[in-house]
A and B are shown apart, each in its own frame.
Chain A
Amino acid sequence: MVSDIQNIPTVPALSRKDFVPDNEVRWCPGCGDYAILNSLQRTFPELGVARENFAIVSGIGCSSRFPFYMDTYGFHTIHGRAPSVATGIKVANPDLSVWVITGDGDGLSIGGNHMLHLLRRNVNINVLLFNNRIYGLTKGQYSPTSPVGTVTKTSPTGSLENPLNPVLFALGAEATFVARTADNNPKHMVETFKAAHAHQGVSFVEIYQNCVIFNDDAWESVYGKESRDDQMLYLETGKPLLFGKDKSKGIRLNGLTLEIVDAATAAPGEILIHDPSHLSPIYSQLLATMGQPDFPSPMGVIRSIEKPTYESQVQEQIDHAQAKKGNGTWKELLHGGSTWTVSGDA
């Protein structure tokens, strides 16, 4: 009944339209979510996974409507709890390609605890966190990623809370794959989603996403035409950390802090070479601390290391127990422990 996703030749060739369902998409015109949806619909046919083996799970929020717009198995659950449902699905059937779609409120506020534990368990699930730094579906309140001073209806004189850096949060949980991409760069999104899928283990992808209604230009100062060269650093494995127009600036380590240097005058080997496979999360964490106002935001795969997945180890423990004790029988189930017999001649 459930086909083996490893068995790629049996998967018929799929195209984007195989993943587009009949129902209309109901996000606000101009919402960044459309570009993300489009990129994922372009990514899925290229993964070698049969359509029936995708399960998309979401919580509550604008981004969480996502499963309804993908013609796969989809489960729109409750606020913040998608990671737990997704974990149950993946543990139940490790052959499925499971995707969690969440937002900054759903994934980091009400569902922060579940996100933390999904990441540390290393369940082979792909998490796409749409970060628009605002609560959209409830019509514009500050979120856990809103900058200090954000003025909203619940913070008319400015929000007081220190914002959470989603990537740093994921690294704190020692997630084995952490990446960042943006809704205005479809090519980069597709590449990043493919890398997330290829990674065996939990994959956490933060997506800079614009909310055209309640937080328009949320990332304009980072990825707008005027600023993007100086405010974003595209990571490439084995390549130096360079950014700016004509890649004129580089990042070097000075003691325990990062510094921006002029690439032209930097000493050979002085500029850090990107390696997402450091076992220690410290390098990735240093990268993750980069951002406005002093540094560009790193984009792409920040960390990618191999560790055994949770669901495979759950299965291994079962296989091991069955190899050692044999498959449990009725006799063992009912007559286990110490038993005694009462004869009829009492």
Chain B
Amino acid sequence: MTPSSPGFREMKTVVVRFAGDSGDGMQIVGERFTDTSVTVPNSVATFPDYPAEIRAPIGTIGGVSAFQVHFGSRKVLTPGDEPDALVAMNPAALSVHLPDLAVGGLLVVNTSAFTEDNLKMAGYTSNPLDDPALGNKYSVLAIDVTALTLEALKDSTLTNREKLRCKNFFALGLMYWVYSRPIEPTIDYVNGKWAKKLPALADANVRVLKAGYFLGETYETTRTRYRVARADVAPGVYRKLSGNEAVALGLIAASKRSNRELVFSGYPITPATSVLETLAAYKHFGVKTVQAEDEIAAIGVALGASYAGKLGATATSGPGMCLKSEFIGLAVTTEIPLVIVNVQRGGPSTGLPTKTEQSDLFQALYGRHGESPLPIVAANSPSDCFAAAFEAARLALKFSTPVILLTDGYLANGSEPWLIPDESTLPDISVPFADESQPYVAFKRDPETLARTLAIPGQVGLEHRIGGIEKNEKGGISYDPENHSIMTGLRAAKVAGIAKDLPPLHVIGARSGKLLVVGWGGTHGAITSAVQTLVAEGYPVAYTNLRHLNPLPSDLGEIIKGFDQVLVPELNNGQLSMLLRANYLVDAIPMKKIKGRPFKVSEIRERVLELINA
């Protein structure tokens, strides 16, 4: 087929959203669609959106689970603002997601799920599929997925119940046809997973997938199909990586490059759990994982391991961070390297466990008693979590300090292709322990970094005591007022001095102009997309993303001075903007969003234009 083939429309990018009941397998279908699209190759970003309840009552609004895939022939940096196509497996999914569908977009609905009960649960008083307005606004493809799935499996030995669980693959097959995707990668996946153990299941899924695909040709011959050409992506070997997987791999890479065994301890908490799950499968890398009894013990185990000379790490989300804060203070005052990952979610308290937010920046900065500064690193895309975790470990070891790595639910669950780096690009981050031939002074500092050197149990002749009570340079308990002032100052100076260790900021756009956008974390994709386009269109706007939130990079102040205005989009109530105001006396304009969902590119674009044109 060539781009000019009749019946095909070329698209630069497409956003597809699969939505259904949480038992409908929408996450699986989204994953398959993603894995297929990366092999084209297209540039891809994803956004899984699922309820906190494992199995909310079937058919309810609360039970709707969705997966959005954005794929393109040009660089895709976000999961996309509004879907071009929506697959709604039941009325609740339609009710929740239809408002997002682009006007004129493709709407695929499973008619068999539009029963009176399901309509009622979704809050419909009449069947929306009967409303002619729907067909006028969208390109509707109403099909009885249930009946067609059962028909495709009429010879199968599976039970009816089992057959119906294949119906997600019918929708997947149909979408493959619409967007001209190959079905072979999915067939290979299904066979690889089930052909040996459950051949009947593998066969059924393949048959249903094909039935969905061929429906396009037999049933809707006049329908337009779309093509998204292969993207001009950098050559190399890729893999798909979610944020939490990337954190896990980054920590293992840091363990290898520092020659310290990784000891990771965590307590299950959404959306951080899969970091522990991923690491538990890496035992042959010498990774020791401990599922602790609670959040407090998890960081205690990690700190104990670091004290004993390993790379100790833990991961959690906001509520867990609250519980860990006393231990973080201990790590600050004993100056022991430790990586603490906070996969942020909507708060406060239980908040929105499965939704994303960036509202723990202040907690990371100030969420401890006493003067207890520590470095803060933020990841800005799912695969960037690898580099960010490596950086967190590097700083922890080099400066002998706990480091907080901030990611978020959107990065943790979202995934994107990752250009696999050559390991030689990862620097040696090893740090020696104390010299056994010298008398040991526990809090003697490197004059350059102000870091202390660890002596670990097992080292001959370096026995010493440390703890949470204020200490003098020798590590002895000291209640001396002058000493407390000196030690507090040294701890602060050490962390502040890390700024000298940071690379210059990368700025998209010119170094001066009307408006500088400053962002951090997972908003990076949306801000980059918006600003890149605006810069290309000639607007006097620029953007910089902060990898380090504490200390702030030393060139940020100068960069800010080059612009008339500073805009800070954040998924919180204006935390970074307040920090910039305090540090640089700049009238930074906050752009807040606290809806448990990421920014849309269009939201950023509109706000930037509003300020520039004002």
Chain A: residues with CB nearer than 8 A to chain B? 1-3, 21, 23, 50-55, 57, 60, 67-68, 71-78, 81, 83-93, 95-96, 113-114, 116-117, 314, 317-318, 320-322, 324-328, 330, 333-344, 346
A-B contact pairs, 12 of them (CB 8 A): A73-B457, A73-B464, A76-B468, A89-B307, A89-B457, A321-B284, A327-B285, A334-B253, A334-B420, A335-B237, A339-B239, A346-B231
Contact at A114–B233, with CB atoms within 8 Å? no
Residues from chain A with Cβ under 8 Å of B294 in the complex: 113
Contact at B457–A96, with CB atoms within 8 Å? yes
- Residue B433 at the chain A interface, CB threshold 8 Å: yes
Given contacts A75-B466, A334-B420, A343-B235, contact A93 B301 (CB under 8 A): no
Given contacts A92-B261, A117-B297, A333-B252, contact A339 B238 (CB under 8 A): yes
Residues from chain A with Cβ under 8 Å of B292 in the complex: 84, 117
Contact at B458–A96, with CB atoms within 8 Å? yes
Contact at B303–A88, with CB atoms within 8 Å? yes
Q: Which residue of A has the minimal Cβ distance to B252?
A: A333
Residues from chain B with Cβ under 8 Å of A337 in the complex: 239-240
Chain B: residues with CB nearer than 8 A to chain A? 35, 38-39, 41, 230-240, 249, 252-253, 256, 261, 263, 265, 282-288, 290, 292-294, 296-310, 312, 326-327, 329-330, 334, 420-421, 423, 433, 436, 456-469, 476-477
- Which of the residues B35, B300, B469 comes within 8 Å of A114, measured between beta carbons? B300
Contact at A92–B309, with CB atoms within 8 Å? yes
Closest Cβ of chain B to A22, distance in Å, is 9
Distance A77 CA – B233 CA, assembled complex (angstroms)? 51
Distance A340 CA – B41 CA, assembled complex (angstroms)? 9
- Which of the residues B265, B433, B467 comes within 8 Å of A88, measured between beta carbons? B265
Given contacts A74-B465, A84-B304, A317-B283, contact A91 B288 (CB under 8 A): yes
- Which of the residues A52, A81, A95, A335 comes within 8 Å of B459, measured between beta carbons? A52
Contact at A89–B308, with CB atoms within 8 Å? yes
Residues from chain B with Cβ under 8 Å of A54 in the complex: 457, 463
Contact at B293–A340, with CB atoms within 8 Å? no
Residues from chain B with Cβ under 8 Å of A95 in the complex: 458
Residues from chain A with Cβ under 8 Å of B461 in the complex: 52
Contact at A91–B285, with CB atoms within 8 Å? no
Given contacts A81-B296, A85-B303, A318-B286, contact A335 B330 (CB under 8 A): no
- Which of the residues A96, A327, A339 comes within 8 Å of B286, measured between beta carbons? A327
Contact at B458–A1, with CB atoms within 8 Å? yes
Contact at A91–B326, with CB atoms within 8 Å? no
Distance A104 CA – B276 CA, assembled complex (angstroms)? 33
Other A-B contacts than A53-B458, A92-B305, A334-B423, 6 sampled, CB-CB below 8 A, are: A75-B307, A96-B458, A114-B297, A317-B283, A322-B286, A342-B236
- Which of the residues A74, A84, A87, A96 comes within 8 Å of B466, measured between beta carbons? A74
Distance A84 CA – B464 CA, assembled complex (angstroms)? 20
Distance A146 CA – B427 CA, assembled complex (angstroms)? 57
Contact at B263–A340, with CB atoms within 8 Å? no
Distance A72 CA – B312 CA, assembled complex (angstroms)? 22
Given contacts A330-B256, A346-B233, contact A81 B297 (CB under 8 A): yes
Closest Cβ of chain A to B84, distance in Å, is 23
Given contacts A87-B301, A88-B263, A339-B239, contact A93 B231 (CB under 8 A): no
Highest count of chain B CB atoms <10 Å: which of A23, A84, A328: A84
Residues from chain B with Cβ under 8 Å of A73 in the complex: 456-457, 463-465
Contact at B433–A1, with CB atoms within 8 Å? yes
- Which of the residues A52, A92, A318 comes within 8 Å of B284, measured between beta carbons? A318
Residues from chain A with Cβ under 8 Å of B239 in the complex: 335-340
Contact at A76–B463, with CB atoms within 8 Å? no
Given contacts A343-B235, A346-B231, contact A93 B462 (CB under 8 A): no
Distance A35 CA – B583 CA, assembled complex (angstroms)? 55
User: Is the contact region of chain B dominated by helix, strand, or loop, or is it mixed?
Assistant: mixed
Count CB-based A-B contacts (< 8 Å).
Answer: 224
- Which of the residues B238, B256, B457 comes within 8 Å of A52, measured between beta carbons? B457
Contact at B286–A328, with CB atoms within 8 Å? yes
Q: Which residue of A has the minimal Cβ distance to B265?
A: A88
Contact at B284–A327, with CB atoms within 8 Å? yes
Contact at B468–A346, with CB atoms within 8 Å? no
In the A-B complex, the 9 residue pairs with the closest CB atoms? A88-B304, A76-B467, A84-B300, A2-B458, A328-B285, A321-B283, A92-B308, A88-B301, A84-B297
Given contacts A85-B304, A91-B301, contact A341 B458 (CB under 8 A): no
Distance A295 CA – B597 CA, assembled complex (angstroms)? 64
Closest Cβ of chain A to B286, distance in Å, is 6
Q: Which residue of B has the minimal Cβ distance to A81?
A: B300
Residues from chain A with Cβ under 8 Å of B464 in the complex: 73-74
- Which of the residues B230, B284, B463 comes within 8 Å of A325, measured between beta carbons? B284
Contact at B284–A333, with CB atoms within 8 Å? no
Closest Cβ of chain A to B244, distance in Å, is 14
Closest Cβ of chain B to A19, distance in Å, is 9
Distance A83 CA – B329 CA, assembled complex (angstroms)? 18
Distance A317 CA – B294 CA, assembled complex (angstroms)? 23
- Which of the residues B302, B326, B327, B469 comes within 8 Å of A76, measured between beta carbons? B469
Closest Cβ of chain B to A120, distance in Å, is 9
Residues from chain B with Cβ under 8 Å of A68 in the complex: 465, 467, 477
Contact at B330–A78, with CB atoms within 8 Å? yes
Q: Which residue of A has the minimal Cβ distance to B239?
A: A339
Q: Which residue of B has the minimal Cβ distance to A82?
A: B300
Residues from chain A with Cβ under 8 Å of B302 in the complex: 88
Residues from chain B with Cβ under 8 Å of A116 in the complex: 293
Residues from chain B with Cβ under 8 Å of A114 in the complex: 293, 296-297, 300
Residues from chain B with Cβ under 8 Å of A96 in the complex: 308, 457-458
Residues from chain A with Cβ under 8 Å of B296 in the complex: 81, 84, 114
- Which of the residues A86, A330, A340 comes within 8 Å of B38, measured between beta carbons? A340
Distance A145 CA – B456 CA, assembled complex (angstroms)? 36
Contact at A86–B233, with CB atoms within 8 Å? no
Residues from chain A with Cβ under 8 Å of B476 in the complex: 23
Residues from chain B with Cβ under 8 Å of A321 in the complex: 283-284
- Which of the residues A2, A55, A77, A335 comes within 8 Å of B468, measured between beta carbons? A77
Closest Cβ of chain B to A323, distance in Å, is 9
Residues from chain B with Cβ under 8 Å of A343 in the complex: 235
Residues from chain B with Cβ under 8 Å of A342 in the complex: 41, 233-238
Residues from chain B with Cβ under 8 Å of A340 in the complex: 38-39, 41, 237-239
Contact at B467–A67, with CB atoms within 8 Å? yes
Distance A320 CA – B477 CA, assembled complex (angstroms)? 44
Residues from chain B with Cβ under 8 Å of A52 in the complex: 457-463
Contact at A85–B252, with CB atoms within 8 Å? no
Given contacts A67-B465, A81-B300, A88-B301, contact A341 B283 (CB under 8 A): no
Distance A96 CA – B436 CA, assembled complex (angstroms)? 18
Highest count of chain A CB atoms <10 Å: which of B261, B283, B302, B433: B283
Distance A78 CA – B303 CA, assembled complex (angstroms)? 12
Distance A337 CA – B284 CA, assembled complex (angstroms)? 15
Contact at A87–B304, with CB atoms within 8 Å? yes
Contact at A76–B238, with CB atoms within 8 Å? no
Closest Cβ of chain A to B333, distance in Å, is 10
Closest Cβ of chain A to B305, distance in Å, is 4
Contact at B284–A84, with CB atoms within 8 Å? no
Distance A93 CA – B236 CA, assembled complex (angstroms)? 40
Contact at A51–B458, with CB atoms within 8 Å? no
Residues from chain B with Cβ under 8 Å of A346 in the complex: 41, 230-233, 235
Distance A92 CA – B294 CA, assembled complex (angstroms)? 19
Closest Cβ of chain B to A208, distance in Å, is 26
Distance A2 CA – B235 CA, assembled complex (angstroms)? 46
Distance A339 CA – B35 CA, assembled complex (angstroms)? 10
Q: Which residue of B has the minimal Cβ distance to A86?
A: B304
Given contacts A71-B463, A81-B327, contact A341 B238 (CB under 8 A): yes
Given contacts A67-B467, A337-B239, contact A326 B232 (CB under 8 A): no
Residues from chain B with Cβ under 8 Å of A113 in the complex: 293-294, 297
Closest Cβ of chain A to B386, distance in Å, is 9
Q: Which residue of B has the minimal Cβ distance to A317?
A: B283
Distance A105 CA – B122 CA, assembled complex (angstroms)? 53
